[in-house]
Amino acid sequence: MLRVSQARKIFYPGTPDERKALDGADLSLATGEFCVVIGSNGAGKSSLLNAISGRMPLDEGRIEINGADLTDLPVFKRAARIASVFQDPMIGTAPTMTVAENMLLAELRGRRSSLSPGLNAERRDLFRERLSVIGLGLEDRLDTNVGLLSGGQRQSLSLVMAVSNQPDLLLLDEHTAALDPRTADLVMKATISAIDTHDLTALMVTHNMKHAVDYGDSLIMMDSGRVRLSMSGEEKAAATVETLIERFHETPDWLMLQEA
Ligand SMILES: Nc1ncnc2c1ncn2[C@@H]1O[C@H](COP(=O)(O)OP(=O)(O)O)[C@@H](O)[C@H]1O
Ligand SMILES: [Mg+2]
């Protein structure tokens, strides 16, 4: 479904500040696969997701979704197929618009026609229903400006908006890392339920080793701009925090595991 081949990106090449963000990264995901991404700071996790979403153009390599070559497509042309949620709750929603207005915008995003269905009662009911599953009380705040919401509410809203158009691929870049543990768990539960309900193919970066063990059909570890190790199937299902650490100690640049 998703294929990244030999993705390369070097910032400031040939200068003392040279940074290899991606150095020949390869990845394939099957339709409906939920893959967790771990790796130390600077390993290239965000770069991989940004390359897939089009936010970071590649120097070399290829990105395909369902056989279509997206490598040179700008972000907005990928937006209907690829949805992203980032770490910062301030990104992804418009603070001076209400919850309902944000959700309406998300629905219209990536659609070719500008036929606006408007915020009718039916649509408001649908939005309320989508928000109620999260458990953060957002369903009662349809007309609240998003700037007044908590970080967790805002992140949940970003998630609901990201999946509202049934994207082919959902990209999550440490989307619970800025939240307190309880809220992070709620947002994580909402994430799993969204992925299951919509049968999404998803790539989730996390620093949380427990989340990496508990969730996902497969797991990859990145290091120095490459995918170093991957696990799937029974091996992934049986993985524990300890076995992950053991396997990943075999890689050269093992520095992660801040918050297990
Ligand atoms: N826009 C950028 N400008 C310069 N260097 C960058 C940029 N984006 C990423 N990098 C560099 O690429 C490497 C990988 O970064 P990143 O993908 O953000 O890692 P991770 O998300 O795994 O922590 C780092 O060395 C980082 O400094
Ligand atoms: Mg990152």
CB of 9 within 6 A of ligand 1: the answer is no
52 Cβ below 6 A of ligand 1: no
Q: Looking at residue 246, what is its pLDDT? A: 81
The predicted-structure confidence for 144-158, as pLDDT tens digits, reads as follows 999 999 999 999 999
The whole domain housing 114 covers 2-248
E strand or H helix at 61: strand 60-65
Identify the pLDDT of residue 257: 46
Which parts of the chain have pLDDT scores under 50?
Answer: 255-260
- 202 CA distance to ligand 1 middle (Å): 21
Report how far residue 162's alpha carbon sits from residue 145's, in angstroms, rounded to the nearest whole number. Answer: 18
> How many Å lie between the centroid of ligand 2 and the Cα of residue 205?
8
Domain at 116, CATH number = 3.40.50.300
Q: Is residue 253 part of a domain?
A: no
Q: Evaluate whether residue 258 is within a structural domain.
A: no
According to the model, what pLDDT value does residue 259 have? 41
pLDDT one-digit tens code per residue, 11-46: 999 999 999 999 999 999 999 999 999 998 999 999
When divided into structural domains, the chain yields a total of: 1
Looking at the domain assignment, is residue 260 inside a domain? no
Q: Specify the long-range contacts of residues 226-230, CB closer than 8 Å, at least 24 apart.
A: 226/22, 226/23, 226/24, 226/25, 226/26, 226/44, 227/25, 227/26, 227/27, 228/39
Determine, yes or no, domain membership for 201.
yes
Residue 256 lies in a domain: no
Is 224 near ligand 1, meaning CB less than 6 Å away? no
Q: Does 39 sit in the ligand 1 pocket, CB within 6 Å?
A: yes
